[in-house]
Amino acid sequence: MLATAHAACLIGIEANPVQVEVRLGEGLPGFDIVGLPERGVRESRIRVRAALSSIGFAFPPRHLVLNLAPGDVPKTGAGLDLAIAAAILAACEGVSSEQLPSTLLIGELSLSGELRPVRGVLALLRSARQAGLKNAIIPEGNRHEAMLVEGVSVLTAPHVGAVVRWLSGEAPLPDVSEAPAVLEASVDAEPERDLGAIRGQEAARRALEIAAAGSHHMLLIGSPGAGKTMLARALPSILPPPTSEEALEIATIASSAGLRAPRILTGRQRPFRAPHHTASAAAIVGGGEPIRAGELTLAHRGVLFLDELPEFRRDAIETLRTTMEEGEVVISRARQRVRLPAEPMVIAAMNPCPCGYHGDPTRFCRCGELQIARYRGRVSGPLLDRFDLQVAVPRVSARTMRKASRGEASKAVQQRVERARVRLTSSGARASIESLTENVAPEALTLLELGVERLKMSARAYLKALRVAHTIAALDGAAEVLAAHTAEALQYRVLDREPA
């Protein structure tokens, strides 16, 4: 007797459909799994056997062969348990298999038969729709993610017993896709993450606005307590909210990492991730077994904040550098190649020197010139070139802080950013070197070239400054890049200007 059930397994942030085939054969009683099962899947045998015995099912004294198709893709994770259990029951005629051909079954089983939530349900459900399946059964603990999927009737179950009753037509299961989407008020920035909460820091706020408008990576250089972290945290509040397509992509990534996905997609901010500098390269770029997304992917279409950039591990910095260029992470394994989208805006922060107070008006720097050079050397050259904006963030004295009024709130800045983005897209200013020199006033170009010569900037840094100048012109509503725009763009090359 042969039975088939539909499952899917998560690879990176995408789902691959898997057919679970069970054949009852002759030979010594036993239970084999073929079709490249990795450890989590091989352990299914133990969980499924125990879970089925909890509903009174005894394995027949036959030889069970379980085939996971397609055979050339490794199968990972425990989410195949439910499909394996259902296929076994169908093969042994424990349940009618009428619904099986049109149903995706997802869930890890506990030894007593409960369905445990799994990572990546959003991607797994989308694969059901692509495969043309009518129904999907998922663990109750994943129900909030199911509300984002259309075109599949999504049922939730607490226990394998409930699934069996549904398959046999004895009892219904709750259909999440019919539940009305819970409406939440559009989410405004938390007050402490609003730009309005930052007093003073006019120059840094301006740079943040430019970064947001042009999606420029930015490096903040300043003493401890200067407010670099507050500035970075405020960035999502001035970025345009994600489109519904982007929001679904962001939610799918969060779901694949086991983070709680939102109930609804509208009115959300872009993701903000701030890994600690001790994070491994794998935690930053992704990896592991099974392959999981790293911080660069979790921050995709949002903000990745790296505080104390020079303290990050060498290998992490190296992978960061290449990913910032390519916009995706590719992880190659013996039998698979996984692509993870990774296009966050990177905001990094560093002290001006190891002690943190080089150039500070009130504190004395204890560092030697060599120490400072070595410290800055950790982020020099190719990595530094990835940051379009290098911005000095001076510490604001308590007195200035008291006198400074509250800054402009995020909402107003966000509107300017959105308008500038529309202008940048329509002018296509970021596409190529040729188009970068279009719509630039001659004196603006001359000024930039003089600056490049004086600061001994690299060719790459020259193009970055030109891109930034285009963004500034777009914020200004100007038809072409003027000398004032290139002059301002040159100001954001702090580390080029001031070689320790």
- Contact residues: Zn ion, CB under 5 A: 353, 355, 358, 365, 367
Q: Name the residue nearer to Zn ion (CB basis): 122 or 367.
A: 367
* 481 vs 288: CA distance, rounded Å: 47
Residue 359 CB, shortest distance to Zn ion, in Å, is 9
Residue 499 CB, shortest distance to Zn ion, in Å, is 16
| Tokens of residue 264, six digits | 């609804």
Q: Name the residue nearer to Zn ion (CB basis): 151 or 359.
A: 359
Which strand (E) or helix (H) includes residue 389? strand 389-392
Residue 376 CB, shortest distance to Zn ion, in Å, is 11
Token look-up 């195949």 returns 80
**CB contact set of 97 (below 8 Å; sequence gap of 6+):** 3, 90, 167
Per the document, the length of the chain is: 500
Residue 392 CB, shortest distance to Zn ion, in Å, is 15
Evaluate the CA torsion angle 333, 337, 338, 342 in order and state its sign. Answer: positive
Q: Name the residue nearer to Zn ion (CB basis): 167 or 353.
A: 353
Residue 352 CB, shortest distance to Zn ion, in Å, is 7
Q: What is the DSSP letter of 101?
A: G
- Residue 410 · residue 237 · CB < 8 Å: yes
Residue 366 CB, shortest distance to Zn ion, in Å, is 6
| 115-116 and 328-332 strand pairing | unpaired
Cis preceding-peptide flag for 74 (omega within 30 of 0): no
Q: Name the residue nearer to Zn ion (CB basis): 73 or 365.
A: 365
Q: Name the residue nearer to Zn ion (CB basis): 270 or 358.
A: 358
| Tokens of residue 106, six digits | 């997802």
Q: Name the residue nearer to Zn ion (CB basis): 26 or 369.
A: 369
Q: Name the residue nearer to Zn ion (CB basis): 196 or 359.
A: 359
Residue 310 CB, shortest distance to Zn ion, in Å, is 13
Residue type, 59: F
CA proximity to 243, closest of 210, 276, 266 = 266
CA proximity to 390, closest of 226, 222, 272 = 222
